[in-house]
Each structure stands twice: as C-alpha cells, then as structure tokens.
C-alpha cells in the first residue's frame, strides 16, 4: 500500500495530542478536522475507513440511537466528529458511524474509540 500523504501537516499525533484516537486496520489513527490521520515516519498519511462487512455502506432507515435527539442534523459544528468512510463522510456517534440520509441516519458500523 502506498502512502497517501497529508501535505503541510506540522502537528504531531500521539497519546494526549488532543485528537480522538481510533482503532483502524490494526493500528491507531487520529480524527483531525474531518480527516483520518496516521503518523508514518516523517509524515502523516490520510486514511479512510473502508466499506466492508463491519462498516457497510447501506441504508438502515430503522436505526435508532440514543447518541442524539431525533431530528438532529449532522454537519459541520454538529458536535460529532466527521470520519471519512468509503467515498463519503460519516459522523462518530457513541462508537459507531452515522451517515445522514434523508430523514434518518444510517448505521455504517462500529468504530473503536481509544481516547
């Protein structure tokens, strides 16, 4: 797998850096301004949660979650961290990925938060 470098990144990600750490594909990534960052040597790689059996990309109109009120609208400043998933953005809510879809949120599977 080749590196997908995040250009001009001067922040050092690691324990206590202030960004949410998540488990992804056997390593630790950090949620940072809508990106999934992985420290790699002298640079930071851009990662994406892959669409998979664990993190599917499907409509789940019957999904109910206590992580927010019914009618909550995900987007910039909504209080939930954006997470790149496949070719779209989901939001981290109570350990799983929410995808806004019409009048409901789809459940796109778990994401283990480490910090």
* Alpha-carbon gap, residue 71 to 44, rounded angstroms: 36
**What is the C-alpha to C-alpha distance for residues 108 and 70, in angstroms, rounded to an integer?**
18
Q: What is the pLDDT of residue 42?
A: 81
Q: Residue 10 falls within a domain, yes or no?
A: no
Domains: count for the chain: 1
Using an 8 Å Cβ cutoff, are 49 and 36 in contact?
yes
pTM for this one? 0.88
Q: Is residue 36 part of a domain?
A: yes
Looking at the chain, the whole-number percentage of residues with pLDDT higher than 70 is 91
Q: Is residue 92 part of a domain?
A: yes
Query: Do the domain assignments include residue 81?
Result: yes
Domain residues for the domain of 36 are 19-114
pLDDT digit string, tens, across residues 32-62: 989 999 887 788 889 999 999 999 999 999 9
**In-domain check, residue 23:** yes
């Amino acid at each position: 797998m080749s590196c997908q470098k995040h250009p001009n990144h001067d922040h050092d990600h690691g324990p206590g850096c202030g960004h949410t750490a998540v488990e992804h594909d056997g390593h630790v990534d950090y949620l940072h301004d809508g990106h999934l960052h992985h420290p790699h040597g002298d640079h930071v790689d851009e990662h994406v949660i892959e669409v998979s059996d664990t993190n599917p990309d499907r409509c789940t109109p019957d999904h109910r979650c206590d992580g927010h009120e019914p009618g909550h609208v995900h987007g910039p400043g909504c209080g939930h961290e954006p997470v790149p998933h496949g070719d779209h953005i989901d939001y981290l809510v109570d350990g799983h990925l929410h995808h806004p879809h019409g009048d409901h949120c789809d459940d796109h599977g778990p994401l283990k938060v480490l910090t």
